[in-house]
Amino acid sequence: MDMNLYGPRAVLAYKNFAANKNISHIGLGVAAMNTAKSLNARRNNAAVTPIVNAAALRARLNDSITHVVVSAPWIPSSEWQSIISDFPDIKFAVNCHSNVGFLQADTNGMKLVREAMEIERGSSNFHLAGNCLRFCNWVSRAYHAPCTYLPNLYYLDSAMPRAAASYGGGTLRIGAFGATRPLKNFMSAAAAALEISSSMRVPMEFWVSSGRNEGGSGVLDSVRAMFHGLPHVKLVEAGWQSWPKFRETVRHMHLLLQPSYTESFNMVTADGIAEGVPSVVSDAIDWAPQHWKAPADDVCEIARVGRMLLADTHTHHDGLIALMRHNAEGLTAWQAFLND
Q: Tens of pLDDT along 181-211?
A: 889 999 999 999 999 999 999 999 999 988 6
Predicted structure pTM score: 0.91
Give the full edge-to-edge strand order of the sheet including 255-258.
Answer: 233-237, 204-208, 172-176, 255-258, 279-281
CATH class of 9-153: alpha beta
Domain ranges for the chain, please list them: 9-153, 172-323
Instruction: List CB contacts of 89: < 8 A, sequence separation 6 or more.
Output: 63, 66, 125
CA-to-CA distance for 167 and 154, rounded, in angstroms?
26
Task: Compute CA distances 148 → 8, 114, 201, 261, 294, whole Å.
Answer: 17, 15, 49, 24, 29
Please tell me if the domain spanning 9-153 has the same topology as the one spanning 172-323: yes
**pLDDT tens digits for range 214-262:** 655 688 899 999 999 999 999 999 888 888 899 999 999 999 999 999 9
**pLDDT tens digits for range 117-157:** 999 999 999 999 999 999 999 999 999 999 999 999 999 98
**pLDDT tens digits for range 40-90:** 999 999 999 999 999 999 999 999 999 999 999 999 999 999 999 999 999
- pLDDT of 19 > 60? The answer is no
Amino acid at 175: G
Q: What CATH fold (topology level) applies to the domain 172-323?
A: Rossmann fold (3.40.50)
Task: Compute CA distances 258 → 175, 231, 296, whole Å.
Answer: 9, 25, 9
Q: How many CB atoms lie within 10 A of CB 89?
A: 8
